[in-house]
Amino acid sequence: MSDVVSMDQLISEIRAISERQSRGVSVIHDLELALDEASREYDWAKANAMLQATGTVAEKEAQVELGTKAQRLAYELAKTSLNYAKSQAKNLETTLMATQSQLSAVKATYMVGGNS
pLDDT values of the chain reduced to their tens digit, one per residue, 116 residues:
467 788 899 999 999 999 999 999 999 999 999 999 999 999 999 999 999 999 999 999 999 999 999 999 999 999 999 999 999 999 999 999 999 999 998 888 878 866 65
Q: Give the domain ranges of the chain.
A: 7-102
Q: Which residues contact 81 (CB under 8 A, 6 or more apart)?
A: 31, 34, 35
pLDDT digits (tens, 9 = 90+) for 89-103: 999 999 999 999 999
Q: Between vectors from CA 27 to CA 24 and to CA 28, what angle results, nearest 5°?
A: 85
pTM: 0.80
How far apart CA 23 and CA 90 sit, in angstroms, is 14
How far apart CA 84 and CA 96 sit, in angstroms, is 18
